[in-house]
Amino acid sequence: MHPGYSTVYLGDLDQYIEHLQDRIKALGADRLYMVHNHPNGNPTPSDSDIWATTAIAMSIPQFKGHIIINSGKYGYINSTGSDATVKPLPNLSSAWIDPIIQPSVPHELLESNARTIEHIASWAKALIKDRDMPVLVYIDSDSKVRGLQEVHPQIFTNIQLMREKMPQKLVDFGSIGAVAVLPDKLTEEMLDAVRAYVSAHVLWDAVGFAGRLPYSFSAGEPDLNYFGGRLRDTMPAQTVR
């Protein structure tokens, strides 16, 4: 689940069970499965996945299990939660390319480790060489780089637009946060925007180089209560996957 949890149902559990029972009756279904994806590419069931499975199975006899897809494998949790395994997809061609993991434009930094700001700062020269645009580095829940995106300065300094778009961009890249790598030619407008983004948790941090010395704008670890500048518990369930 991304970014670490998901709202399985709206309302309370009893209301959701009643809704499922009504749908099963209306459709005449004799089997029910739960299916969702893990955008980070790892379909290993989490403790929360198992809990959600058993909570539904206790009240829905037609419920047969929970399937988690992605990356040429799938996770499966049986209806009692006693078996949670990961298996390869059957009959998958050797030529199959994972659309989640395979980047549209290859880059040596994709899927590399981004556990510390120092890791990201060490890439800054490579990312901004001969460029005057900031580069957003999207990072997933396994501390891997999921995407790199150049942002035109006019877009980057549009604070309202960036704050509106960032949560969806994180979802699009299967990430939980982003760090900006800044170009050498910084304007005051860009610096003001960076400070606003970091203080409002829109970005985890922004890094760059002053001569040979790296610098950043954040004084601590990312606050994971926020997702692209929005508190997680204020976001609609369908956008937090």
Q: How many CA atoms lie within 13 A of 66 on its CB side?
A: 29
Please count the other Cβ atoms lying within 10 Å of the Cβ belonging to residue 238: 10
Predicted local distance difference test score (pLDDT) of residue 241: 37
Region 140-167: mean pLDDT is: 88
pLDDT digits (tens, 9 = 90+) for 25-65: 999 999 999 988 876 677 888 888 888 899 899 999 999 99
Predicted local distance difference test score (pLDDT) of residue 216: 81
Give the model's confidence band at 212: pLDDT under 50 very low, under 70 low, under 90 confident, else very high: low
- Read off the tokens for 24: 């099963």
Among the residue ranges 6-10, 154-158, 177-181, the one predicted with the least confidence is: 6-10
Region class of 73: left (phi > 0), else alpha (psi between -120 and 50), else beta: beta
In whole numbers, what is the pLDDT of the chain averaged over residues? 79
Higher pLDDT, 109 or 171: 171
Q: 146 Cβ partners below 8 Å, 6+ apart?
A: 40, 110, 111, 138, 139, 140, 173, 174, 175
Q: Are 145 and 112 in contact (CB under 8 A)?
A: yes
Integer CA distances (angstroms), 92 to 88, 96, 97, 107, 227, in order: 8, 7, 10, 26, 35
pTM given for the model: 0.57
Among the residue ranges 40-49, 171-180, 196-205, the one predicted with the least confidence is: 40-49
Check pLDDT > 80 for residue 204: yes
What structural domains and CATH numbers belong to the chain?
Answer: 13-88 (3.40.140.10), 117-239 (3.40.140)
